[in-house]
Amino acid sequence: MNNQQLKQKRKKRLHAKVRAKIKNRITGVLRLNVFRSNKSLFLQIIDDNQGKTLVSAYSKEIKEAKNKTEESFELGKLLAQKAKDKKISKVVFDRGSYRYHGRVKAAAEGAREGGLLF
């Protein structure tokens, strides 16, 4: 195996570990999922029972941001506002295989400030 394949395998293992902890801890609660690319950040609130995305936000929706971290914070607040409009207040945070720092942490703090509970 080359290094890229090892990285992908490790990432899948970490994501499965985080997902298993979430499912074992709380069932029936909506999940706030984070996908981070090099340029953008995607946030989704997913209902796992129905298999549907209820609310989503994309970092390109944010116009006034100085850097990616500030953009992520504003994106979290935007997602929380969209969730409030659909009467969603409590979610479980699914960081995937990403560490809880930087843009992922900023998005979570923005969502909390916007009114989501997790």
Query: Residue 66 pLDDT > 90, yes or no?
Result: no
pLDDT for 20 equals 87
Residue 25 above 90 pLDDT?
A: no
- Token pair recorded at residue 21: 């902890």
Paired residues of 42 in beta bridges:
35, 58
In a 13 Å sphere around the CA of 26, the CA atoms on its Cβ side amount to 15
Rounded to an integer, the average pLDDT of 73-96 is 95
Residue 86 has phi, psi (to 5 degrees) of -100, 10
| Sequence-distant contacts of 17-24: CB under 8 A, at least 24 apart | 18/94, 18/95, 18/96, 18/97, 19/94, 22/92, 22/94, 23/48
Q: What single-letter amino acid sits at 107?
A: A
Give mean pLDDT, residues 62-72: 90
pLDDT at residue 19, as a whole number: 85
Instruction: Give the start-to-end residue ranges of the domains of the chain.
Output: 3-114
pLDDT average, residue stretch 27-50 = 91
**pTM for this entry:** 0.86
What separation in angstroms does the CA of 41 have from each of 6, 24, 25?
24, 26, 26
Check residue 26 and give its pLDDT. 73
Backbone angles phi, psi at 68, to 5 degrees: -65, -35
What is the average pLDDT across 6-25? 88
CATH label, 3-114, candidates 3.90.105.10, 3.40.50.1100, 3.30.420.100, 3.40.50.2300: 3.30.420.100
Residue 49 in this model has a pLDDT that exceeds 90: no
pLDDT of residue 53: 96
Instruction: Please give the backbone phi and psi of residue 95, each rounded to the nearest 5 degrees, phi first.
Output: -80, -5
Mean pLDDT confidence for 7-33: 86
